[in-house]
Chains A and B, each alone.
Chain A
Amino acid sequence: MSVRSDTIIRVGVPVVLVLAWQAAVSSGILPDNYASSPAGVVEALATLDERNLLWPSLGTSLARAAVGFLIGGSLGVFFGTLVGLSVRAETVLDATLQAFRVLPHFALIPLLLIWFGIGEQPKIALIALASFFPIYINLYKAIRGIDPRLSELAAIQKLDRWQTLRDITLPGALPGLLIGVRFALAGAWLSLIVAEQFNAHSGIGFVTMQARLFSQISTIVACLVLYALVGILIDVGVRLIERRTIAWHASERAR
């Protein structure tokens, strides 16, 4: 199939679905007070903007996700690199970290609430947890998965430790790291949505909660749309970064 007809289908399917949704509501097949409608959602977004709630709420939610992701991600990079490079660190740390991983991190919510109270901290902690593991695991595995024959090359070319890290290890592990980043961002966003369900005083979650109290279906769906759009934007962003930073990878695959 040609690239063009591919694109048409890719864009066409959601457009048709949205039109069908609108038609179903307009014709009365789907009750309006149950599922809202595309027009209703747009209207709700406009109302949120009028009440000066749209961008500030989005900003608050994004900031939460970003802070949590940065904390969890940095720790993931640190421990992933450490455990990837050092067999001793692996012996000491990996089993413990893996044991934590099998526990779904949402199960920790009650503990986090007791430890951190009901402010920003438990939300950030939850998001950080969700960001940590994908990055840790993927980076650690990527470093371990680097072709051992390249270590021989490093020895023959007399690379020192720093040069080996810079020219072999880190760039070789970059595709793995970026896969981890993608999973971590998805996890961070999901955790944000969950975290905002309990006791938020600001952010998209807060708007959703208010809308639920007043049974404003359109506003709730509008918030869902916001969550989804940001999720898509994040994914597209990471793909762009991937394409820019690992150009060699594309040529490798094209073989």
Chain B
Amino acid sequence: MSAVVAFPRPRAASDEAPVVEVRSLRRRFGERSVLDGVELTVGAGEFVSIIGKSGCGKSTLLRLVGGLDTPSEGTIRRDPSLNLVFQDARLVPWRNVWRNVTLGLRGEPLQRRDGARRVLAEVGLEDRIDDWPATLSGGEAQRVSFARALLAEPRLLLLDEPFGALDALTRIRMQNLIARLQRDHGFAALLVTHDVEEAILLSDRILVTRDARIAAEHHVTLPRPRHRTDPSLLPLKQALLADLGIADA
């Protein structure tokens, strides 16, 4: 891996190819099809959110795209530079922060530590570079895992409810952070969430999953930066809640 010193790259024409192409995807567990006939394309630099009820196969879809699981039927094409951020920060408890960030990276320790320092600075954790994971708060641990995911400059970031385990305030700060990181690095993102507001704030496109497939699609055309108090978010919020089968009385 040569990406020890990696700056946002200029967009070349070849960079514009989709980073994910899923065709006729089916995933069965025993008799039950958790995903059935999923079609999904994510363009370069595009931020796509997936929302849906708990247990409707969102994590399964993300694991399939990430290559952690194999489809029962159908095909998945993905950019090989992808990385995945789990809901738990999933730091290796016996490696300190910078060694977690550079996990899997080859090269001189000093050079790797410098690389870690650079991405840690981006998530505001430069001063925790030598600490043990167990000494971090939930939000800090998740920021370290973002730093780890970003280190090799992936063109696609898969995010499985990355803020799900955090308190409401930390969550807001993390949403702002991911918006900033995406603006700076230009990666495409596939975010699983069940927070409608989060999806609207961050996404170019929102997909709603239901009955094992993608049931609805919304393009979000609101200008950025978006503010959670902006009343123009409301119509989309209502539409999404309706898609999710939640009557907003």
Which A residues are closer than 8 A to B by beta carbons? Answer: 149-150, 152-159, 163, 167-168, 171-172, 174, 246-249, 251-252, 254-255
Chain B residues lying within 8 Å of A149, measured Cβ to Cβ, are 86, 88, 90
- A163 contact from B66, B96, B104, B135, Cβ within 8 A: B104
- B83 contact from A156, A171, A252, Cβ within 8 A: A156
Chain A residues lying within 8 Å of B133, measured Cβ to Cβ, are 248
> Which residue of chain B has the shortest Cβ distance to A255 in the bound complex?
B134
- Are A168 and B92 neighbours in the complex by a CB distance under 8 Å? yes
- Chain A proximity of B82: nearest CB distance (Å): 8
Interface residue count on the B side (C-beta < 8 Å): 21
- Do A159 and B132 form a contact, CB below 8 Å, given A153-B92, A248-B93? no
- Chain A proximity of B57: nearest CB distance (Å): 17
> Which residue of chain A has the shortest Cβ distance to B151 in the bound complex?
A157
- Chain A proximity of B104: nearest CB distance (Å): 4
Tell me if B's interface is mostly helix, strand, loop or mixed. Answer: loop
- Chain B proximity of A167: nearest CB distance (Å): 6
- Are B66 and A156 neighbours in the complex by a CB distance under 8 Å? yes
- A171 contact from B66, B86, B94, B135, Cβ within 8 A: B94
Chain B residues lying within 8 Å of A155, measured Cβ to Cβ, are 67-68
- B104 contact from A159, A247, A248, A252, Cβ within 8 A: A159
- Are B68 and A252 neighbours in the complex by a CB distance under 8 Å? no
- Do A174 and B103 form a contact, CB below 8 Å, given A156-B84, A248-B132? no
- B95: interface (CB < 8 Å): yes
> Which residue of chain A has the shortest Cβ distance to B84 in the bound complex?
A156
Chain B residues lying within 8 Å of A150, measured Cβ to Cβ, are 90, 92
Chain A residues lying within 8 Å of B86, measured Cβ to Cβ, are 149, 152-153
Chain A residues lying within 8 Å of B66, measured Cβ to Cβ, are 156
Identify which of B67, B86, B88, B134 gathers the most chain A CB atoms within 10 Å of its CB.
B134
Docked pose: A168 CA to B132 CA in angstroms: 15
- A157 contact from B67, B88, B104, B134, Cβ within 8 A: B104
